Structure 1
């Protein structure tokens, strides 16, 4: 079976490394980028099964990337988006929801929590895609 492809955009190298190692161990194929503009570039060139965005990144925030993604006619438009954030305020959640973020994970979090969320979102998304064809 083809591994599921995930775009991981986070400006923290140590966190990217940890998440990539964890997700690769689970059989996912990971593309890493360091900022929001790189994420947009990748989303225009490649297709993914899931997108993980950090809220606070250089160039564009995770919310800005998600807003762009949901408003463009690109292949990844309907792909689930997980937003990683240290911002736990209600207004930040509302901003994320308005941008089209699927799920919000507040830092610090356990990599295993992320894996569970990734598996669930991919499973639900693929069921929805299968049913709509």
Structure 2
């Protein structure tokens, strides 16, 4: 089995050392960068399986760094980002998710929770995000929308739609259940890993990002519809 490669961008040396040692004992290889410049240099050398990104760095804003990571060639939607922050404001969490973070963990945190979240994100990425043992279709197509599960890509009318790893899994989970109204809890269960934190607003944020990527008019969606008071439904009939 290949050892998962992680990159931790964190200026707190003591915290970073503790996390690196703990994750190493759990089977992960972790590269540590103490600032944004070092983190970007490491990313340009080699893309890891996951980035652990501190929101507050001495030389860079973590939110801006998340944008830059998403803009790296080959990184969009394929390198999950787990954001760490000392800030507890839910708005910071929402902004982080809107900018492309796959998960969010406030400081201080238990190393076991960080480990569980890392495993959940990587599991979603490796399994394609569907619960259950049935072998899913290799590709999904709804009008001009095409989802390639193997390549983990989405195109609309031949144009690539940029989604994070978690957003891709959300889209696949809903597309596999086209026509079925899903509650937020059912959506979180379908992609797994969100049992750690029932944060319904995160689903709404991600749905907004998915709509922006795949809808002709995100404010008047035709593919992912809101069912007021219940959740969402992926429309069977599209363009």
TM-score normalised by L of structure 1: 0.92
Contact 2:24 2:30 in 1 (8 A): yes
Residues 103-112 or 40-49, more deviating? 40-49
Q: CA deviation at 1:90?
A: 2.4
Residue 118 of structure 2 aligns with which residue? 118
Contact 2:54 2:84 (8 Å CA) reproduced: yes
Shift of 1:94: 2.3
Higher helix share: 1
1:84 alignment partner, SS class: strand
Q: Is the 8 A contact 1:81 1:101 kept in 2?
A: yes
CA positional deviation for 1:91 = 2.2
SS state at 2:83 partner: strand
Q: Following TM superposition, by how much is the alpha carbon of 1:72 offset from its aligned partner in structure 2, in angstroms?
A: 3.0
Listed one character per residue, the Cα deviations across residues 65-106 of structure 1 (whole Å, up to 9, x for unaligned) are 111111232x33321111111111122112211210111101
Higher relative contact order (CA 8 A, sep 6+): 1
| CA–CA distance in structure 1, aligned partners of residues 3 and 82 of structure 2 | 19
- Rounded to whole Å, the distance in 2 between the matches of 1:33 and 1:72 is 17
Q: Which runs of 5+ in 1 are unaligned?
A: none
How does the TM-score come out when normalised to structure 2?
A: 0.52
Q: Paired residue for 1:65?
A: 65
Which protein has the larger Cα radius of gyration, Structure 1 or Structure 2? 2
Distance 1:127 1:65 in 2: 27
Distance (whole Å) between structure 1 residues aligned to residue 109 and residue 41 of structure 2: 27
How far apart are the structure 2 equivalents of 1:64 and 1:20?
24
Correspondence 1:31 to 2:49: no
With 108-117 and 37-46 compared, the bigger mean Cα shift is at 37-46
Q: Matched residue of 1:132: which SS? A: coil
- Give 1:75-114 correspondences, 5 Å limit: 75-77=74-76, 78-114=78-114
Root-mean-square deviation (Å) = 1.7
